[in-house]
Structure 1
Amino acid sequence: MPRPKSPRTRPTWRRRFALALKIFVGLGVLALIGLVIAVYVARAQLPSFDELKSSPNGQMIRVHAADGTVIVSLGPSYGEWLSFDQIPTVMRDAMVAVEDRRFRSHIGIDPIGLARSAKLAIERRGEGRRLQGASTITQQVARTIFLSNKYDVGRKAREAILALAMERKFSKDQILELYLNKVYFGGGAYGIDAASRRFFGHGAEALSLSEAAVVAGLVKAPSRYSPTADAEAAVGRAGVVIRLMQETGKITAAQAAAANPTGVALAPAPRQNSVRYFTDWALPQLETLIDETTRPLDVWTTLDLNMQRAADAAVRANAPKNAQGALVTIDRDGAIRAMVGGTDYVSSNYNRATQAVRQPGSAWKLFVYLAALEAGHKVEDKVVDAPITINGWSPRNASGANRGEMTLRTAFAYSVNTVAARLGQEVGFGTVADMARRFGITTPVDTRPAMVLGTSDVRLLDMTRAFASVANQGVAIIPYGITKVTAQGETIYAQAVDRSQVLVAPYVAQQMTDLLQTAVNTGTGRAAQIGRPVAGKTGTTSSNKDGWFVGFSSGLTTGVWMGRDDAKVVPGLQGGTAPARAFATFMKTAVANRPVEEFDTKVTLPEWALEPDEESYFGQPDNGVYVDADGNPIDQPAPPAEDSTDDGDRVAPPAPVPQSEQNPEQLDQDWIDRVLDRTPAPAPRPTPTPRPAAMSAPPRVPEQPSDRVLIRPQEARPTQ
């Protein structure tokens, strides 16, 4: 009879299985204890809900115009934070349906979702796919705020621990609020409000069902499903979201059928217009103004949108064909009200108002005459227009003729080069250079004699600043574009205007303004007249490569430059033509709502009135090309039907002044004819009489490749 087996003789496999089970359970218990400890340690270290709300996704910068309008938004996020109650129900339901349908029931991780994803990963292991679709909304919040998007096992483990900890510390509503305000939706937009404004042009609190479906569909692949990049893919993904919302009972079949993602109106893409010239100049200054690199910023600027539009239009309308233009206008306190750095920001973001350095031509004579006035000259002082040689340099006037004794007023109004050279020699060329630096010229200044004709390269902003300081009674104007900066409602920077730096005595500035008025009223800048007091100066460089006009009226100072970036000839371009016309076009709009302001000195006419055949004095354009009204070259000169500026381009004559309002000292044409011993022509608009031999234009000098004023021993190309 066989003996019963002893308990000690049980099969070895059973004993091993029991031992392994005990070890496994023990390890599981230890792992669970470790997980609980890790979760509660993480929970204790989690920031508060308010701190998580303020944690940045990257610094946001919103730039405001002077009227508060947001003109540019920079950085990865620019939406408003919406509390849970402010978020539309359709948006909350859409996001839960498509991203985490068991959000309300899981503990931070979703075992069912993990199992399904693991199964799919095993089935598709030959396709090289990784575990996808298992992250809950809570895990995505943890990853967005605390972790990176790098995919590895360690990161997934930390993500799961943080998700469990967050579920222990925050409510489901708080987690969903964090998620909807922080998740990335593409196009630089973090959060539903940023996405709504980016794609639909309105805040998220007004999202419709179809719009919410489009936004919810972006999270899976922001670039692939972006409505601005692939509208068809975005609509298809939105359809999936709407179907899932119906499946989960969030919307009815009727609501799903009524939804129409294809009918969603997208916000127009922001235009890269001329405003960007201003913001590209102003925003880099934040590095020196503030020390805030995390909180979102609101930057309040001086830009006047109406003036900016007018400036853009004026440059586009008046810039010669194939040429560029730039304009900047400064208010009486230094505030930049408009800045245009080119004819088209999209094709060229090079800012010619602040970056380009070009020769200013006779606009530079501002500093020559300021130095002379400060040295004791008066506007009515007599000077001599006669040949002069300085260290081997012999400047000449555009006509090649000299007129003898004249007043400073006449010499400035008609931009007489020999007088400028004589004044520069008298006061010292170094003194003129110092005056330019005093008034804000930041580029190197040449101190050779020819510098009086504007041979030193300058920036348009610097020249405009100099004229603005003259308009400000000789008190320095410091241009600025940022008035204040706020971070989450706190003002961290505010502009303080400095009015303490006196550059020249007020009487010097007043006399300079007197001269500048004359240049606009009867001299080289007549095309800049706008029907109210204006003071300014033209500038033209050799072979018509640069044209300038800088002037002021009613508290605004505006500078205009035109030319080619490659410094090639622009036929017909003179400071008194396209730049002066652009100035007038812009200023008529810019000062329309400002009161008319008279200058301290009244307009006084120069000794001579402009002669009918003005080229006998001013000469023809030094490139010798006849041009039409648009600056295009023509074969034959048109019969003179209008007066022209000093720059050789034709403009409409000023409106006649009623006899009752004429200055008794006004010189009429009969008087000029008698003094010059001319025989009055029988026709109302006669063909100009031939020039006397002594008044004939000098032979043209072959064009030089450089854009600088042509300067040679014993001769210099005139600048006007």
Structure 2
Amino acid sequence: MAKRSPRQPSKFRRIIKWVFGIGIALGIAGLVALVIAVYTARASLPSYEELKSSPNGQMIRVHAADGTVIVSLGPSYGEWIEYSKIPAPMRDAMVAIEDRRFRSHWGVDPVALARITKFAIDNRGTDRRLQGASTITQQVARTIFLSNKYDIGRKLREMILALALERKFTKDQILELYLNKVYFGGGAYGIDAASRTFFGHPATNLTLSESAVVAGLVKAPSRYSPTADAQAAIDRASVVLDVMVETGALTRVQADAARPAEVKLAAAPKQNSVRYFTDWALPQLEVLIDETVAPLDVWTTIDLKMQNAATQAIQSNTPAGAQGALVSLDRDGAVRAMVGGRDYVSSIYNRATQATRQPGSAFKLFVYLAALEAGHKVDDRIVDEQVTINGWSPRNNSGRFSGEMTLRSAFAYSINTVAAKLGQEVGFGTVADMARRFGITTPINTQPAMVLGTSNVRLIDMTRAFASVGQKGVAVTPYAITRVTANGAVIYQHEVDTSRVLVAPYVAAQMTDLLQTAVNAGSGRAAQIGRPVAGKTGTTSSNKDGWFLGFSSGLTTGVWMGRDDAKRVGGLQGGTAPARAFAAFMKPATAGRAVEQFDTEVTLPEWQIEPDEEAYGAPDNAIYVDEDGNPVPREEVNPDAVQGREDAPAPGEEETLDDDWLDRMTGRNAPPRDAPPLRQDPSRQPAERVPPRDGPRELPRPLQEARPNE
């Protein structure tokens, strides 16, 4: 048996010694490099007074069109509180929860480093971030000198700066910097700003309970904010108190005596509807400018008088239990008013820009635009008759068909079968393309029922579409920011683009002709404001949504009403509350503007004679469809769907139509087809009132108006 060579152990030992020696040499070299880096960083650190005055975050002042400052956003700073004046519970709470070994380490906590090293090994290959290892000194370094971007290089620089800070400043100075610089949420930097924001008094008066709440905010300011989630703030404060007991800062009796749940919060600053506008406008700064440090002044398009009128119009006209939204655009696309709900304080959800809802008959704008562009004229004749398209058979609200009529009549009374026939003729894809051309950004289905507004849209998109028609076919793009200045220098200036022509001017003029008819003779009568108005109503099945969109004197306004949960709203139709809100806003909004006539005079539909009472505010030809745009048999529709309509039958009574209604909708006793359209005569006296339903009825002479539908 061969003997083991006696040289093998000594060779192995030499290798071990060689590796160990290299390790020591590298360690010494690394230590020397670290010391050099730390003292180099120490030499470049600003003085303590300079660190106290260094800024955090970016201040933004937002101006209305008249220059009024409507909101100031960004960081909020309180008074600088010297270490000796900071309440001891506040100092102890912050050290306990954020860095319990603050008084003993050199800026970097070796225990925490060991913990994150183990964490890194256990979670290698995952996306989990290393958290909880930064000391208070490291957080000061990051807050003042570095960004929040997470990478290994930034972490190393943070450690070197922390070691340098500890070499230059005392622990008390570092803690003073931290408490006066750290972000506590709600735009508040430093404990004084946080105390005033959340409790309404300076930080020098902070109690133990308040200190626990404030200290608990640093880990996740938005999650633990007492104004956003009171219970989360209370629970977090309880954790802080428990940690203070563990570290010896408090006794258990003292901690139990604290009552975070009984802390009184400062009253929230009063918010108003203009915040819907600023919440929508300010995020646009990210793509408009690159400046992220200098204080900004942002000049916007909002007209405060119009905004107040819009708020009042929505609050006064929106049905109980429903929400309302309004957007108003000037002729160049400037947003003059925006209301995203009845009350910003109770709901910051902006229904004018975020909500997507079915537009109902308001979507017929794109159907008729496509038909007019394809060569149709407003006086072209088309037959209202039963039609089936790919298995879909649209019906009118009357349940009957009226025979031959002009496109003007079909649009004024929102005849569904005519819209379906036009959509089939030009192509449903063409209608969808027209909607996208005019600024609809949400998906549009191309099933036949799409002509009745079954695709969800946004109010602001529909409003810009109507505005583009009002501008004779030139694209109107909504904008909110006119210019931005930084330290007095203009860094952004908006330029209006009028180069995009969506349809030929004659197409837009004919569409305006139809829209005038809908307001003067159709379901949009409630939107009249004593000057020329062009617009269209929209109502979806089961009275879930009501719309009115229109323009006058260069101002285009869209109104939507409905419930956030999409349940029915009794009596809600586009020609009722939304049209009234439109008029309530537009009357004062256009009061200072010159009266502008449209290119075409108002020409009433061929059936137009002075109406009886029932002609006002009738619902549109809402089609019952499912979420995919497929028709739903009438008997399967929730019977509540027709309740609340002005013409709804009594409970248990079948929805029937009287002879007068049938006569008018089927065209019996209509004037000769070659008779010229009648024009509106303001001096005309109302037609003879018809008898009630339970007695014999007689038509006014020569013919009573056909009942309009949205």
Common topology (TM > 0.5):
yes
Give the aligned residue type for 2:552: S
- In 1, the alpha carbon distance for the partners of 2:68 and 2:204 equals 30
Look up the SS of the partner of 1:339 in the other structure: strand
Aligned 8 A contact 2:192 2:202 in 1? no
- In 2, the alpha carbon distance for the partners of 1:437 and 1:571 equals 32
- In 1, the alpha carbon distance for the partners of 2:651 and 2:316 equals 21
Question: Shift of residue 469 of structure 1?
Answer: 0.4
Look up the SS of the partner of 1:352 in the other structure: coil
1:220-259 mapped onto 2 (5 Å cutoff): 223=214
Residue in structure 2 matched with residue 556 of structure 1 by the alignment = 555
1:334 aligns with 2:333: yes
Residue in structure 1 matched with residue 4 of structure 2 by the alignment = none
Aligned 8 A contact 2:61 2:69 in 1? yes
Residue in structure 2 matched with residue 612 of structure 1 by the alignment = 612
Task: Determine what percentage of the aligned residue pairs are the same residue.
Answer: 67
Instruction: Quickly say closer, same or farther: Cα 1:182–1:448, change in 2 above 3 A.
Output: closer
- In 2, the alpha carbon distance for the partners of 1:454 and 1:547 equals 12
1:279 aligns with 2:284: no
1:596 aligns with 2:573: no
- In 2, the alpha carbon distance for the partners of 1:295 and 1:385 equals 64
- In 1, the alpha carbon distance for the partners of 2:434 and 2:45 equals 62
Look up the SS of the partner of 1:327 in the other structure: strand
Instruction: Quickly say closer, same or farther: Cα 1:79–1:585, change in 2 above 3 A.
Output: farther
1:415 aligns with 2:385: no
Aligned 8 A contact 1:61 1:78 in 2? no
- In 2, the alpha carbon distance for the partners of 1:590 and 1:617 equals 24
Give the aligned residue type for 2:59: M
- In 2, the alpha carbon distance for the partners of 1:199 and 1:569 equals 40
1:3-82 mapped onto 2 (5 Å cutoff): 45-46=44-45, 55-75=54-74, 77-78=75-76
1:397-476 mapped onto 2 (5 Å cutoff): 397-476=396-475
Aligned 8 A contact 1:627 1:634 in 2? no
Instruction: Quickly say closer, same or farther: Cα 1:54–1:296, change in 2 above 3 A.
Output: farther
Question: Shift of residue 452 of structure 1?
Answer: 1.6
Residue in structure 2 matched with residue 542 of structure 1 by the alignment = 541
- In 1, the alpha carbon distance for the partners of 2:696 and 2:542 equals 26
Give the aligned residue type for 1:612: D
- In 2, the alpha carbon distance for the partners of 1:367 and 1:442 equals 14
- In 2, the alpha carbon distance for the partners of 1:268 and 1:690 equals 63
- In 1, the alpha carbon distance for the partners of 2:289 and 2:160 equals 39
Aligned 8 A contact 1:475 1:499 in 2? yes
Residue in structure 1 matched with residue 31 of structure 2 by the alignment = none
Aligned 8 A contact 1:186 1:222 in 2? no
1:282-297 mapped onto 2 (5 Å cutoff): 282-297=281-296
Question: Shift of residue 690 of structure 1?
Answer: 5.6
Instruction: Quickly say closer, same or farther: Cα 1:612–1:686, change in 2 above 3 A.
Output: farther
Aligned 8 A contact 1:184 1:222 in 2? no
Residue in structure 1 matched with residue 20 of structure 2 by the alignment = none
- In 2, the alpha carbon distance for the partners of 1:669 and 1:530 equals 20
Question: Shift of residue 470 of structure 1?
Answer: 0.5
Aligned 8 A contact 1:538 1:550 in 2? yes
Deviations 1:484-509, CA, capped at 9 Å, x for gaps: 23333333322221110000111211
Aligned 8 A contact 1:39 1:162 in 2? no
Look up the SS of the partner of 1:499 in the other structure: coil
Give the aligned residue type for 1:298: D
- In 2, the alpha carbon distance for the partners of 1:663 and 1:527 equals 17
Look up the SS of the partner of 2:418 in the other structure: helix
Give the aligned residue type for 1:413: A
Instruction: Quickly say closer, same or farther: Cα 1:411–1:283, change in 2 above 3 A.
Output: same
Aligned 8 A contact 1:438 1:503 in 2? yes
Question: Shift of residue 357 of structure 1?
Answer: 1.6
Question: Shift of residue 632 of structure 1?
Answer: 14
Question: Shift of residue 161 of structure 1?
Answer: 4.3
Instruction: Quickly say closer, same or farther: Cα 1:57–1:605, change in 2 above 3 A.
Output: same
Instruction: Quickly say closer, same or farther: Cα 1:421–1:483, change in 2 above 3 A.
Output: same
Instruction: Quickly say closer, same or farther: Cα 1:474–1:197, change in 2 above 3 A.
Output: farther
Instruction: Quickly say closer, same or farther: Cα 1:198–1:403, change in 2 above 3 A.
Output: same
Structure 1: which 5+ runs fail to align?
1-36, 81-90, 101-116, 122-127, 133-139, 168-177, 202-209, 231-265, 638-643, 645-661, 674-679, 696-717
- In 2, the alpha carbon distance for the partners of 1:41 and 1:490 equals 37
Deviations 1:672-708, CA, capped at 9 Å, x for gaps: x7xxxxxx76x8x99885699xx9xxxxxxxxxxxxx
1:369-388 mapped onto 2 (5 Å cutoff): 369-388=368-387
1:691-710 mapped onto 2 (5 Å cutoff): none
Aligned 8 A contact 2:306 2:336 in 1? yes
Look up the SS of the partner of 2:579 in the other structure: helix
Instruction: Quickly say closer, same or farther: Cα 1:383–1:668, change in 2 above 3 A.
Output: farther
Look up the SS of the partner of 2:349 in the other structure: coil
Q: How many residues align?
A: 543
Aligned 8 A contact 2:518 2:524 in 1? yes
Look up the SS of the partner of 1:435 in the other structure: helix
Cα RMSD for the two superposed structures: 5.4
Instruction: Quickly say closer, same or farther: Cα 1:448–1:512, change in 2 above 3 A.
Output: same
Look up the SS of the partner of 1:350 in the other structure: coil
Residue in structure 2 matched with residue 514 of structure 1 by the alignment = 513
Question: Shift of residue 45 of structure 1?
Answer: 2.1
Aligned 8 A contact 1:539 1:719 in 2? no
- In 2, the alpha carbon distance for the partners of 1:41 and 1:391 equals 79
- In 2, the alpha carbon distance for the partners of 1:422 and 1:48 equals 79
- In 1, the alpha carbon distance for the partners of 2:601 and 2:41 equals 79
Instruction: Quickly say closer, same or farther: Cα 1:634–1:224, change in 2 above 3 A.
Output: farther
Question: Shift of residue 535 of structure 1?
Answer: 1.0
Deviations 1:43-92, CA, capped at 9 Å, x for gaps: 852459999698541233333333333334433x2569xxxxxxxxxx89
Deviations 1:102-127, CA, capped at 9 Å, x for gaps: xxxxxxxxxxxxxxx9xxx9xxxxxx
- In 2, the alpha carbon distance for the partners of 1:180 and 1:130 equals 14
Deviations 1:511-558, CA, capped at 9 Å, x for gaps: 211211111122110111122221110011112111111111122111
Aligned 8 A contact 2:575 2:617 in 1? no
Deviations 1:565-615, CA, capped at 9 Å, x for gaps: 222221211110111111111222322332322222222222222542647
Give the aligned residue type for 1:467: F
Question: Shift of residue 223 of structure 1?
Answer: 3.7
Aligned 8 A contact 2:303 2:336 in 1? yes
Residue in structure 1 matched with residue 496 of structure 2 by the alignment = 497
Question: Shift of residue 393 of structure 1?
Answer: 2.4
